[in-house]
Amino acid sequence: MFIIGELINGMYKDIGEAIKKKDKAPIQKYALEQLKAGADALDVNCGPVSRQPVSDIQWLVQTIQEVTNKPLVLDSSKPEVIESGLKVIKNKAIINSTTADVEKLNILVPLAKQYQAGLIGLTISAKGIPQNKDQRLELAATIVSYCSEQGFSPENLYLDPIVLPVNVAQAQMRDILESIHEFKIISEPSPKTVVGLSNVSQGSCLRSLINRTFLTMAVAFGLDAAIIDPQDKELMDALITSELILNKQIYCDSYLEAYRKK
């Protein structure tokens, strides 16, 4: 599993404050702690309160790059914010995200090619969030065919079925999971799949249990990457164990420690 740490997000109070005050220490601390806990990449999101996201994202990218050369996942719904982040990036970039709308694809696919970046494609369009897996698959196929027409390989594309909170969209959970498998067979080579895991438990009690149960199930449906809190140790243990069960990790009595030492 390609693990993307979710914690550098202005929606968190301390990160939001640090961005406002341009205080590097908390940002660099969260970056290093997430990597130490097992993150392969870091999501970078200025959050809903940032008033100048175009410059804030540059400050975040530069601040994080001072302490790591791991990939950065530029998370914004605004293409101008993504482009601004790309201008200062030295690490590998993943664009988070495009939708299936041609206006967005027209901007973000060329940018991904220009910067040799990965691209997350949300299966959403101007018409809103799909209500079933047929609509999800149709939007996924739109994104894949646009990318292949532009010569952007599906191996650099991460399709996201958009995880909804279980407390409001319980009836959709099975479709979301099945979509993960369906996305993998759209093209050859396959696109990759990703989810923003913590969405599933927003507004619920027992958040950590819901997160790790959903992630374990998603692993069984073939999930490639996840935006998660890597500092949730029980979540990481469940993730490692689900990969063990699927024969993606070699068994030994101390497999959890063995995985973490890698």
Q: Which parts of this chain interact with ligand THG (CB under 6 A)?
A: 6, 9, 11-13, 45, 75, 96-97, 120, 160, 162-163, 196, 198-199, 202, 227
CB of 62 or CB of 202, closer to ligand THG: 202
Q: Which is nearer to ligand THG, 93 or 259 (CB)?
A: 93
Tokens of 27: 């940002």
Q: Which residues contact 176 (CB under 8 A, 6 or more apart)?
A: 133, 136, 161, 162, 163, 164
Output 74 or 240, the one with its CB closest to ligand THG: 74
Output 201 or 242, the one with its CB closest to ligand THG: 201
CB 47 within 8 A of CB 18: no
Report the nearest approach of ligand THG to the CB of residue 193 (Å): 11
Tell me whether residue 63 or residue 193 sits nearer to ligand THG (CB atom).
Answer: 193
